Amino acid sequence: MYRYDQYDQAMVDARVEEFRDQTRRRLEGRLTEDQFKPLRLMNGLYLQLHAYMLRVAIPYGTLDSRQMHMLADIADKYDRGYGHFTTRQNIQYNWIKLEDAGDILADLASVEMHAIQTSGNCIRNISSDHFAGAAADEVVDPRPYAELLRQWSSFHPEFSYLPRKFKIAVIASDTDRAAMRLHDIGIQIVRNEADELGAAFYVGGGMGRTPMIAPCINAFVPLDRMVTYAEAALRVYNRHGRRDNKYKARIKILVHELGAEEYTRQVEEEFAHLLGQGVEPPFAELERIRGYFEDPLFEDGLSAELDRSDPDFALWVDRNTIAHKAPGYVSAVISLKPVGGIPGDATAEQMHLMADLARDYSFDELRVMHTQNIVLPHVRKADLHALWTALEAAGLGSPNLDTIEDIIACPGLDYCSLANARSIPVAQKISERFAANGKTEALGQLKLKISGCINACGHHHAGHIGILGVDKKGVENYQLLLGGSEAEDVSLAKITGPGFDEAGIVDAVETAADVYLRERQDGERFLDTYRRIGMTPFKEALYG
């Protein structure tokens, strides 16, 4: 994985000292909160319901055991012994003291991490496929391109004050595991008929209060022009994006209002202008970065056989491991969704354990999934039983990947100052309900996503079943949505009808699941059945 060079480290170290000074001046009263707020947000420090919250960037979700150990140490030393992995492949700490912020950033910098651009109207942490470099179906490892874009977008002077926040995802397979078309810019690395690599640009997607699926504006940008094309796409947005209304300020609104064709025309015009300006980094820089993402030394001749005599182990293997490009290996998913647990939360002890297991069994690498789980990307099949045994002992062995118990949930009203309703208790009750009624296995793949407000951090628009918490005259109320997908078959979920209270929404989810079990045909997932039969049977069952 990528390692900082002297410039990366110097930039991050300088930012730590700069923020330490800004924090000191705030505590001494030389900066007001109005002056300080944009400075702390540029360093990922929010003020949430109960305390300051620090969001730490994990570029494209990749980290090594040294970094995971540090995340655990920070949870122990500065927080309350746990952290929360987010839907942007980051980690958040909920109980940070302002006076500790500089020390935390210095600790992060010591392992080549930071919290820069995890807030504010800038280009945020770039996300990617959590199976990158391991997936059998990828054209190429997308992370070098994500890293190049990370370097381009870090401290980019022209794009530090965009009309609104800006999110980019990079993938390199037709299977979309990064919700690529629900980003401001989604890039898919593709290979053309001449066997050349290029970047397909999808611009103007997003969730939030106005969900939109990004249209493709250019199906093949040569890789040696990818950064320039991204610059052109951002420039048009920076020039014409609305700054008068934050609810209409995202690029999706601009693309929608201009029309994809006109927006594309302007981007192409800007791109032609920029081609002569030397925006693109030398191709050698991409080659240098690519050198950090060489495959680890996979062993040849490994057996593909597994001892499946332990049924619990066999179930975990079936549900939580993914085919790998190297024979004898798999990618193993560590579920952070125990029944009744808080989705995405991990204790410091669990983080230390995951780091040790990555060192022992996965070439020292971990990934954070946008679905709030952790991946060990390169595990020998022969090591799976030992790995599972260690995970089980630590409460990390839940065999529930992509099931109804594998719920995405934002922090909601339990932590977030923007939320209107609590998300986590709903997730807990749903996972408990389905663990108890035994329907999880029969339901198969069923992606359930919960947001505590219209900002949609819990991706409810993209859930096969989505839940949106709203404030109804001071009382929590939950809308049910059906039919969303963030994958390559992307679609936006639709609301079923009137909302439910906390107990009612759990019943409603089970009712919708029962409709699927009753109506499904051979091989259909919940989403397939919904698309075939439509909303009506679900509405009849829910509202009769």
Partner 1 sequence: MRLLTGNDLRTGAVTWWTGNDWSLHVEDAVDVTGTEDEIARREEAARRVNAPYAIDASLHQGRPRPSHIKDRVRALGPTVRPDLTLKPADPDIGSWVI
Please say which residue, 56 or 140, places its beta carbon nearer to partner 1.
56
Q: Which single residue is written with the structure tokens 């299977």?
A: 175
If one asks whether residue 276 binds partner 1 (CB under 8 A), the answer comes out as: no
One-character DSSP codes across 69-106 = HHHHHHHHHHSSSEEEE-TTS-EEEEEE-GGGHHHHHH
Site for partner 1 in 11-40 (CB under 8 A): 26-27, 29, 33
How many residues make contact with partner 1 (CB under 8 A)? 30
Q: Coil, helix or strand for 306? A: coil
487 burial level (CB within 10 Å; 0-12, 13-18, 19+): middle
C-alpha closest to that of 418 among 442, 385, 389, 452: 452
In this structure, are residues 223 and 207 in contact, taking their beta carbons and an 8 Å threshold? no
Site for partner 1 in 470-499 (CB under 8 A): 471, 474-476
Site string for partner 1, 397-416 (x = CB under 8 A): ----------------xxx-
The residue from 77, 97, 191, 273 that contacts partner 1 (CB under 8 A) is: 97
Minimum separation from the CB atom of position 417 to partner 1 (A): 8
Alpha helices in 110-198 (DSSP H): 143-153
Which of positions 316-345 make contact with partner 1 (CB under 8 A)?
342
Site string for partner 1, 136-175 (x = CB under 8 A): ----------------------------------------
Give exposure, 369-383, as e/b (b: 16+ Cβ within 10 Å): bbbbbbbbbbbbbbb
Least distance between partner 1 and beta carbon 416 (Å): 10
In sequence order, the 6+-apart residues with CB closer than 8 A to the CB of 372 are 85, 86, 87, 336, 337, 343, 344, 408, 409
Shortest distance, CB of residue 431 to partner 1, whole angstroms? 13
Q: Residues in the chain, how many?
A: 544
Q: Does 105 bind partner 1 (CB under 8 A)?
A: no
Distance of CA 204 to the CA centre of its chain: 18
Of 54 and 513, nearer to partner 1 (C-beta) is 54
253 binds partner 1 (CB under 8 A): no
Q: Minimum CB separation from partner 1 for residue 51, in Å?
A: 4
Nearer to partner 1, 424 or 430 (CB): 424
> Which residue of 17, 21, 99, 257 would you call a contact of partner 1, by CB under 8 A?
99
3-class secondary structure, 357:
helix
- For residue 508, give the 3-state DSSP assignment: helix
- Contact between 544 and partner 1 (CB under 8 A)? no
Dist CA 231 CA 111 (whole Å): 30
Helix axes 65-78, 101-109, angle to 10 degrees: 170
In the set 121, 188, 428, 431, which binds partner 1 (CB under 8 A)?
428
Return the number of other C-beta atoms located less than 10 Å from residue 107's C-beta.
18
Residue nearer to partner 1 on the CB measure, 80 or 256: 80
Instruction: Give the nearest distance from C-beta 161 to partner 1 in angstroms.
Output: 22
The binder of partner 1 chosen from 74, 75, 96, 481 (CB under 8 A): 96
Query: Could you say which of 80, 256, 385, 531 contacts partner 1 (CB under 8 A)?
Result: 80
Site residues, partner 1 (CB under 8 A): 26-27, 29, 33, 47, 49-52, 80, 94-99, 342, 413-415, 419-420, 422, 424-425, 428, 471, 474-476
